[in-house]
Amino acid sequence: MHCSSIRHISYSLPDKILTNADLASLYPGWTEAKILEKTGISQRHVVTDTETAGDLAERAAIKLFDEHQIDPQTIDFILLATQSPDYFLPTTACMLQHRLGIATTAGALDFNLGCSAYVYGLSLAKGLIAGGIAANVLLLTAETYTKHIHPMDKSARTIFGDAASATLISVAETERIWQFQLGTDGSGFDKLIVPAGGMRLERSSKTALEITDDSGNTRSQDHLFMDGTEIFSFTITTVPRTVKETLEKNGLKMENIDLFVFHQANKYMLDFLCKKCKIAPEKFYMNFADCGNTVSSSIPIALARAAKDGTLKPGMKVMLVGFGVGLSWGATIITW
């Protein structure tokens, strides 16, 4: 069995910015300060009408190649996590093979997961390397949730931002990606959903009908719906259990972990999880004030930033935990 390791991470944020002042001007009764206090987010980067997840992923991959002098021809597998693909078909990862100048001998596939996707992507990359199928896996995450969100859905628009990340996972001398603890509960499929637009319910004038809910959020079935209270309730019960199970599976204790990088959902949720999991705040990394909740890119962006600002040092053991839409969750430990 071959061992694997994360070699490099880069990320890309779209240029356009949505500030708290922009949101406060749209939603009566809201102030910039209140939005920042409740979410820990001061601005989000959002795509324009003509930018896609494929474009963001391409930019993140090119940054990875440039920043770390990587020859695209050495990549032999592309994994792309997205729920906003450029087309129903073909696969966005296949188009990226050509756009990035990666050899036609490389494998490529998309997989449809959200906030848990990065951890799942690492598990797939580890499996491909362990099985001798690939030696250099390019794991891409790219999401444009803002395209799914109604402009007057206050809660979703405040939280989510668009982004992409690129991670190179390569065959290594020693194993630096530990065991995974994964989980799924499809009974909660409708707690975070875009109801119309797929084959189950095609878009129509009926699905485009706008409804304003009790909290004053407007959306139609063509838009993203998030039941915030249900997602919060799911998270605060599932994540602490997953942290414990991941430690047990890897034969480690809390004190063996040098840094915890959870999906960067929002400040309120993360503060609660940090306390509930009894993690020392200095070991609990949060860095999303300028980009919001970037779904599948939130963990790799946090890792790249922690490495850059000196929080994350070589040799550290880091626990990664992703959780959200599906409902789906996953955790692992990496040695940086």
Number of chain residues interacting with another protein (CB under 8 A): 14
Task: Name 170's Cβ contacts closer than 8 Å, sequence gap at least 6.
Answer: 4, 5, 7, 129, 135, 136, 137
> In the range 146-165, which residues lie near another protein by CB under 8 A?
155
DSSP 30: -
State which residue, 237 or 256, has the beta carbon closest to another protein: 237
Give Dmax over CA atoms of the chain in angstroms: 59
Q: Which of 62, 130, 172, 236 binds another protein (CB under 8 A)?
A: 236
Catalytic residue among 217, 250, 266, 293: 293
State which residue, 196 or 236, has the beta carbon closest to another protein: 236
Tokens representing residue 36 in the block = 């920042």
Tokens representing residue 138 in the block = 């390019």
Quick check: is 293 catalytic?
A: yes
CB of 229 to another protein, least distance (A): 5
Stretch that binds another protein, among 97-105, 136-144, 268-276, 306-314 (CB under 8 A): 268-276
Q: Which of 111, 272, 284, 336 binds another protein (CB under 8 A)?
A: 272
State which residue, 272 or 336, has the beta carbon closest to another protein: 272
Distance in angstroms (rounded) separating the CA atoms of residues 57 and 273? 30
Quick check: is 115 catalytic?
A: yes
Closest CA to 23 of 131, 154, 163: 154
Distance in angstroms (rounded) separating the CA atoms of residues 5 and 26? 45
State which residue, 175 or 230, has the beta carbon closest to another protein: 230
- State yes or no: residue 31 binds another protein (CB under 8 A): no
Q: Which of 19, 31, 48, 237 binds another protein (CB under 8 A)?
A: 237
Catalytic residue among 136, 150, 263, 277: 263
Q: Which of 3, 175, 228, 316 binds another protein (CB under 8 A)?
A: 228
Distance in angstroms (rounded) separating the CA atoms of residues 41 and 39? 5
How many C-beta neighbours within 10 Å does residue 187 have? 8
Stretch that binds another protein, among 13-21, 81-89, 136-144, 227-235 (CB under 8 A): 227-235
Quickly tell me which residue has 């206050």 as its tokens. Answer: 154
Stretch that binds another protein, among 67-75, 221-229, 287-295, 305-313 (CB under 8 A): 221-229
CB of 247 to another protein, least distance (A): 21
CB of 207 to another protein, least distance (A): 22
- State yes or no: residue 218 binds another protein (CB under 8 A): no
Q: Which of 32, 51, 175, 230 binds another protein (CB under 8 A)?
A: 230
**Alpha helices by DSSP H, the chain:** 20-26, 32-39, 53-67, 92-99, 117-130, 154-159, 228-249, 267-276, 298-308
SS3 52: coil
CB of 299 to another protein, least distance (A): 22
Catalytic residue among 115, 136, 150, 223: 115
Closest CA to 67 of 79, 77, 55, 59: 59
Judge contact between 13 and 291, C-beta under 8 A: yes
> How far from chain centre, in Å, is Cα 174?
27
- State yes or no: residue 38 binds another protein (CB under 8 A): yes
How many C-beta neighbours within 10 Å does residue 173 have? 8
State which residue, 10 or 235, has the beta carbon closest to another protein: 235
CA atoms within 13 A of residue 296's CA, in its CB half-sphere: 34
Closest CA to 329 of 12, 115, 30, 70: 115
Q: Which chain residues interact with another protein by CB under 8 A?
A: 38, 155, 215, 227-230, 232-233, 236-237, 268, 272, 276
Active site residues: 115, 263, 293
